[in-house]
A = this chain, B = another copy of it.
């Protein structure tokens, strides 16, 4: 059952990268994450192996009674090997270290890959809803519903004054992290990005790379999320992030206009060179691909090129990641081989689209 879901997932791009949804030229995806813990159990970092198993059992039983979690797959540590852990992390369905750090963990992923719930990560429950484009409210509605349903069955650790209690104090309160994956090539190329990040930080938001905390900014992809979980309601947090991201999208559009006014040839050249390299290279690292795809995305936004669509770019972004590539080929490969297979796959996908 667990295996079957993973095989099915590998056949298609992650739904949250479908390239649909409002403002999807700039906002790749929206994400809501809620941290919850069950009363009367120690937080996972200090829970014994037995208690961790008991928590997972409790959850599995609870989830089976929840409408929104009826269609999906429940995994336990041991169900998922190294390659599939990487695969799920690349799809942003688990944190990179989740299954690797010892046992006693559980994971639920719904059939549409919209909802994923990590059990016994830092908190008992890390509920996540992911969706394509600028769709924070939609994600929040679904997360809120699932959260309510779980809360009806199990008693959350909740303090009248502080709100939801969590293993790490930075999550206490709403336990909410709302985040957006945003593509900002214009602001990077015009060197306005540092200013924008500074301004974002001052209003209580944080900015990170594609793969979360501590990762480099690759392909001009930024994750923007709320920093504080205390003192503001969920709606306030989401409204504020929505409003600020609308502003960032405006800045980005302005930057792209400036680029096209000041250096149209250079931008066009950058876009077409990137396409030429992706269409012809025989060896491509994952990082290089992310940067080249960024140029293609910019070209598409500016209507400088029409040989692919946002969906194709998003798909390439994910299927060229190491674990996805190995799932695609059906075996483990070293970096050298991956770089060659990656180049072949990209060439093929871009050529397929061109002919289609």
A binding-site residues for B, Cβ under 8 Å: 265-266, 268-269, 272-273, 275-283, 336, 340, 343
New A-B contacts (6) at CB < 8 Å, excluding given A275-B280, A277-B277: A265-B282, A266-B283, A269-B283, A272-B282, A273-B280, A276-B281
A75 to B5, CA, bound (A): 80
The 8 tightest CB contacts between A and B, nearest first, are: A276-B280, A276-B276, A269-B282, A269-B283, A272-B280, A268-B282, A273-B281, A276-B277
A269 to B285, CA, bound (A): 12
When all copies of this chain in the complex are counted, the total is 2
Residues of B within 8 A of A268 (CB): 282
> Of B279, B336, B340, which one neighbours A276 at CB under 8 angstroms?
B279
A265 to B337, CA, bound (A): 10
A269 to B340, CA, bound (A): 9
Residues of B within 8 A of A283 (CB): 265-266, 269
A253 nearest CB across to chain B (Å)? 22
> Of B265, B266, B272, B277, which one neighbours A273 at CB under 8 angstroms?
B277
User: Across the two chains, which residue of chain B brings its CB closest to A336?
Assistant: B265
A280 to B295, CA, bound (A): 13
Residues of B within 8 A of A269 (CB): 281-283, 343
Residues of B within 8 A of A343 (CB): 269
Residues of B within 8 A of A273 (CB): 276-277, 280-282
A12 to B343, CA, bound (A): 38
User: Across the two chains, which residue of chain B brings its CB closest to A337?
Assistant: B265
User: Across the two chains, which residue of chain B brings its CB closest to A266?
Assistant: B283
Known A269-B343, A336-B265, A340-B265; judge A280-B279 contact (CB<8 A).
Answer: yes
